[in-house]
Amino acid sequence: MAELHLSLPEDDQKRVSKLPVMDGTLGPSVVDIRSLYAQTGYFTYDPGFTSTASCSSKITYIDGDNGVLLYRGYPIEQLAEKCDFLEVCYLLLNGELPNGAEMKEFVTTISKHVMVHEQLTRFYSGFRRDAHPMAVLVGVVGALSAFYHDGTDVTCREDRYTAAIRLIAKMPNIVAMCHKYSTGMPFIYPKRKLGYAENFMRMMMGDPCDEYVPNPILIRAIDRILILHADHEQNASTSTVRLAGSSGANPYACVAAGIACLWGAAHGGANEAVLNMLEEIGDASNIPEYVAKAKDKNDPFRLMGFGHRVYKNYDPRAKLMRQTCHEVLDELNLHNDRMFKLAMELERIALEDPYFVERKLYPNVDFYSGIVLRALGIPTEMFTAIFALARSVGWIAQWDEMISDPELKIGRPRQLYQGVPQRDVQPISSR
């Protein structure tokens, strides 16, 4: 095993001569610093954990410099082109793509769990009608732990798998009910004979007075959005789920914590922020003014949906989402819609402007997914909830992997304290 030799300041008598270097199958090697404090009395300082590997994982790999995203070794482009979302769910949970018999059994198992407990539907009435769907989603998913607590032993592999199945099966229903509740429309029960994405769209957009007629192109668009957002390595919400789960907490409570983290505009709220930005720009004629504002470091305006913290090149998901975006716009004949014309013109300018090209600020997956969701008639405030629906399988797969890890320890980050040194309390009369 390779080792890193570290020298400390000359006036410090402690030395660390051996820090093991661990190699992964892909990506940079890591320095194992678990013994650092014991040997030296030092911690590391890494705000945001951007240089720290918090875990070992076999699920997802990202190479941001080269625009690579792999689920269990498979490129995201191939999965989005050749698989549906439930195949990807099976892959993330089990490590391999299913064959025909395995897929049939998996779909049957999912279909048995699509209904939610009728008492759970009453939770919605406790929220204001105008509550943000993510606020409702946090509460309702967290409430699943009240229905499935005693029967969920996190140390039991079968119980963990059942929890994963329940979550994947019920999330479309739960998310769709968030939308129906906000609009005053009745909840629509799922149909087991329908596919996953089709069932979700029917529950979201259907009307009990009329038969829902699915459009294959639009259903495929939703399915692709779900695939592209199913997992993304150790991002903020996934790390939140893992940290919550490290204490042995109920898995549904852990996922609710991930949903709360995802809600932030810097994370899952990015595609919602794209639409809000487009509304602010208003018209294609205003784009030059806003592009100039985006280039001005002293101006608070930022172009949302361009560039990515992880991908220093092109977001591999964006190419697929761009293709899907144009398929949807063509199908719905929306290329002349004011908002979509604005988005396409903004895309064109950003791809040609040297300022954006030199900085590799290409449109990312959030830019295109927001446009697609709006074209499908889904309200902007529901965008992040649909992201949560997609990411649920990644969260639960990561949680399951963590719980089964023999090296599992409860999360306990350290800190660099820079507050007031120890002092004595004075009587109130002397303060």
pLDDT digits (tens, 9 = 90+) for 193-246: 999 999 999 999 999 888 899 999 999 999 999 999 999 999 999 999 999 999
Please check whether residue 179 is in contact with residue 129, taking contact to mean a CB–CB distance below 8 angstroms: no
pLDDT of residue 13: 56
pLDDT of residue 392: 97
Helices 270-281 and 383-403: crossing angle in degrees, nearest 10, is: 160
pLDDT digits (tens, 9 = 90+) for 396-419: 999 999 999 999 999 999 999 999
> And the tokens for 169?
């099966």
Residue with tokens 């009307």: 207
Which entry of 84, 223, 315, 366 is annotated as an active-site residue?
366
- For residue 19, give the 3-state DSSP assignment: strand
The pLDDT of 60-64, averaged and rounded, is: 93
Which entry of 229, 308, 315, 400 is annotated as an active-site residue?
308
308 Cβ neighbours under 8 A, 6+ residues apart: 64, 315, 364
> And the tokens for 199?
């069932």
340 C-beta neighbours (distance < 10 Å), count? 19
pLDDT digits (tens, 9 = 90+) for 294-332: 888 899 888 888 877 787 777 889 889 999 999 999 999
| Residue 79 pLDDT level (bands cut at 50, 70, 90) | very high
pLDDT of residue 12: 56
pLDDT at 11 over 80: no
Look up residue 107 and give its amino acid: V
Please check whether residue 375 is in contact with residue 158, taking contact to mean a CB–CB distance below 8 angstroms: no
pLDDT of residue 147: 92
Please check whether residue 402 is in contact with residue 355, taking contact to mean a CB–CB distance below 8 angstroms: no
pLDDT of residue 314: 78
Q: Where are the beta strands (DSSP E) in 278-413?
A: none
pLDDT of residue 284: 86
- For residue 62, give the 3-state DSSP assignment: strand
Strand partners, 31: 21
Number of C-alpha atoms within 13 angstroms, CB side, residue 275?
19
CA 107 from centre of chain: 23
Cα first-last separation, the chain: 59
The pLDDT of 129-140, averaged and rounded, is: 95
Sign of CA dihedral 222, 224, 229, 231: positive
pLDDT of residue 242: 97
pLDDT of residue 261: 95
Strand partners, 19: 4
> And the tokens for 255?
């996922």
The more confidently predicted of residues 15 and 132 is 132
Least reliable range by pLDDT among 34-38, 309-313, 359-363, 417-421: 309-313
| Residue 251 pLDDT level (bands cut at 50, 70, 90) | very high
> And the tokens for 66?
């080269």
Rg (CA), the chain: 24
Please check whether residue 254 is in contact with residue 243, taking contact to mean a CB–CB distance below 8 angstroms: no
> And the tokens for 193?
């004979």
Sign of CA dihedral 379, 384, 385, 387: positive
Please check whether residue 107 is in contact with residue 114, taking contact to mean a CB–CB distance below 8 angstroms: no
The strand pair at 74-75 and 3-6 is best described as unpaired
| Residue 56 pLDDT level (bands cut at 50, 70, 90) | very high
| Residue 108 pLDDT level (bands cut at 50, 70, 90) | very high
337: annotated active-site residue: no
pLDDT of residue 20: 86
pLDDT of residue 16: 57
- For residue 194, give the 3-state DSSP assignment: coil
Sign of CA dihedral 68, 403, 86, 372: negative
pLDDT at 15 over 80: no
Please check whether residue 178 is in contact with residue 385, taking contact to mean a CB–CB distance below 8 angstroms: yes
Q: What is the mean pLDDT of the chain?
A: 91
Give the residue among 343, 345, 389 at the shortest CA–CA distance from 366. Answer: 343
pLDDT of residue 150: 72
> And the tokens for 9?
């300041």
Give me the percent of the chain exceeding a pLDDT of 70: 96
pLDDT of residue 7: 67
179: annotated active-site residue: no
| Residue 9 pLDDT level (bands cut at 50, 70, 90) | low
0.85 exceeded by the pTM? yes
Q: What is the DSSP letter of 282?
A: -
Please check whether residue 168 is in contact with residue 160, taking contact to mean a CB–CB distance below 8 angstroms: no
| Residue 42 pLDDT level (bands cut at 50, 70, 90) | confident
Please check whether residue 91 is in contact with residue 339, taking contact to mean a CB–CB distance below 8 angstroms: no
Please check whether residue 84 is in contact with residue 196, taking contact to mean a CB–CB distance below 8 angstroms: yes
Conformational region of residue 415, where left means phi above 0, alpha means psi within -120 to 50, and beta covers everything else: beta
User: What burial letters (b/e) apply to 153-164, b meaning 16+ CB within 10 Å?
Assistant: ebeeeeebebbb
